[in-house]
Each structure stands twice: as C-alpha cells, then as structure tokens.
Amino acid sequence: MSNNFEKATFAGGCFWCMVEPFDQRPGVESVVSGYTGGHVENPTYEQVCSDTTGHVEAVQITFDPKIMPYEQLVSTFWQQIDPTDPGGQFNDRGESYQTAIFYHDDQQRQIAEKLKQELEASGKFSKPIVTPILPAKPFYPAEENHQDYYKKQSFHYRLYKKGSGREDFIKNNWQQEFDKSELKKKLTPIQYHVTQENGTERPFQNEYWDNDKEGIYVDVVSGEALFSSRDQYDAGCGWPSFTKPIDHYQVNNNTDTTHGMIRTEIRSKSSNSHLGHVFEDGPTEAGGLRYCMNSAAMRFIPKEEMKEKGYENYLYLFD
C-alpha cells in the first residue's frame, strides 16, 4: 500500500449499503466489506449473523487523505445511518448490525469525536447519538459474494435499500430543503426554470458551453462542487459536457420518461436541483459517458479563485 493511503473503518448496519456511498469517490482506493470488533478469527457470514462472535458488519476504506479528508468520510458515514438506534439499523436487528466508528490513530479519534459532538449539538435528532467511537480491531474481509453487492446485484440492492427503510430515512433526514420563494429571488429566471422546474436552456446560447478556462463548476443553489474543467470536452451539442462528475456521491441518477423518451436525469444530491442528463455517447477512452449539463444549473469558479472562495480542497484536480 502507498505511503499516502490510510484506512477508515465504519460499521453502519448491513454492509451491502455501506459500500456505494464511498466507492468510486476521489481519493478512495478501495472499499472492502467485512467483519470487525469481535473475538472470532476469520468468521463466516452465518457466524456473525448469529450474534455470537462479537463482530459487526463493517466496511474498510483505503483512501488518500490529501484528496479525501477523513472528516469527509466521517460526515458521509453519519449521513448513511440512524445514529440514535442502539439495536441495529432499520429492518436489520441485532448485535452484528450495530453502528460504530473504528479509529486507526489518535487523530482519527479526535476528528470522529468532534464531528459526533457537532451532530449532537445540531439538534438534528431528538434522541441521543449512540454510535460508539472505538479503537480499530482486526478486520476480516467478507465472502466474495458480499463484496461490491450494489454493483453485482444492483436490482436486489435497490429493492433492499428502499424496503429496509434506509433510503427514506436518509432522504427525510439529510436532504437539504430550500425555500422556493427565496430561490426565486436569488436565482435568475432561467436558473430557476432549469433547477426547480426541470427546464432546459437553449444550446449554444448559454454561459459555459464553450468555456475553456480551468476551474470547477458548482451547484448554483447549494455551492456543492460538481464538475471539473479537466473533464469537460466539446461534444458539439451546445451544452457544457463532461466525462464524469468530480464526486459521484454528489449527484443522483433518476429515470426520466418525459417527452416520450427514456433518459437518465442528473440531479444534485445536496439541493435536489435538476442539472441535465447523462448519455452513453461520450468518449470511449474516458468511460463512454457524456454528462450534458445546463450552464444555468452551475456557477464556474476559476482555478485562481478556488482558494479564496473555499474550494481549496479541489485544487488537487489541477496538479
């Protein structure tokens, strides 16, 4: 393992649901499902589920802290779980489904405790935060059929995440709410039409379709970083086009059946704003996708202004 990489270990209930939020994110090298916290060496899934091993289902993340700070991983972890539930998570009950943050050094412990205190102080939950922060113990990878379950069994995974109650809990507790009347004052008419009414601006008559400056594009509503000029290319369509988002975690893919078509809509996770659509006619050497976005849904931050505007974390994109 490279000297730049560190490990983070989180237990958040069923480990099937704890891989996707961290996987394919910038700076994340791998996400492994497994078992930790108990006293049995190399346990099986059946042993752990019997609640006789002391183990919990967990994920171990190998990451580069210069690109993906540990704070960001912990914040993402809190947004996947019910931290007030001591008896499991959602429909999954029992010791093996309890939550925990396992720290690998004193710095991780301090960061985790600070963010836990901030969550408690925020008043987001009326009940106490019961997720413990514990020293890391040996981690045992789970069986191969449990690795990357969200990719291998995507249909069943989606049904399970929804049916267990996790998906709705996350949406109800972590989706930011924006006042439409305030947005109408803050945004231009085209920005409001695109982001709040699923509109589409005119091709070749929008701000960024031919932008060739270096920088990042952020959500015009929430300010969340979405796309980098490094991934922008001229698709000839008249809208800003990208091969990928900066961080897959910050966008949601929805099926769009309007206008007699079946398309994949892209929405911002932080604001639930409509951004555009993704198509499978992008450059094959860059993965084959074309994220076709509306300029009106984004604000461009030039590279030289990123530090002063609070986007210093993303300067690594231009190294």
Question: What is the 8-class DSSP label of residue 230?
Answer: G
Give me the CATH topology for the region 180-318: 2.170.150
Q: Is the pLDDT of residue 2 over 90?
A: no
Query: Which pLDDT score, from 0 to 100, does residue 256 have?
Result: 66
Superfamily of domain 6-174: Peptide methionine sulphoxide reductase MsrA (3.30.1060.10)
Cα four-point dihedral sign 228, 207, 285, 157: positive
Distance of alpha carbon 195 from alpha carbon 276, whole angstroms: 9
Q: Average of pLDDT values for 99-118?
A: 98
Helix (H, G, I), strand (E, B) or coil at 15: helix
Q: Is the pLDDT of residue 1 over 60?
A: no
Choice among 14, 17, 49, 237 that is catalytic? 14
- Tens of pLDDT, residue by residue over 179-202, are 999 999 999 999 999 999 999 999
- Tens of pLDDT, residue by residue over 287-296, are 999 999 999 9
Question: What is the 8-class DSSP label of residue 316?
Answer: G
List the chain domain ranges. 6-174, 180-318
User: Is 180-318 the same fold as 6-174?
Assistant: no
Distance of alpha carbon 27 from alpha carbon 293, whole angstroms: 24
The verdict on whether 14 is a catalytic residue reads yes
Query: Which pLDDT score, from 0 to 100, does residue 262 have?
Result: 74
Distance of alpha carbon 201 from alpha carbon 293, whole angstroms: 10
Distance of alpha carbon 68 from alpha carbon 29, whole angstroms: 10
Q: How many CB atoms lie within 10 A of CB 210?
A: 11
The single residue listed with the structure tokens 């690795």 is: 147
The verdict on whether 292 is a catalytic residue reads yes
pLDDT-based confidence at residue 108 (cuts at 50, 70, 90): very high
Output the CA torsion 172→309→25→43 (10° steps): -70
Choice among 17, 49, 237, 292 that is catalytic? 292
Q: Indicate the angle between helix axes 166-174 and 154-163, nearest 10 degrees.
A: 60
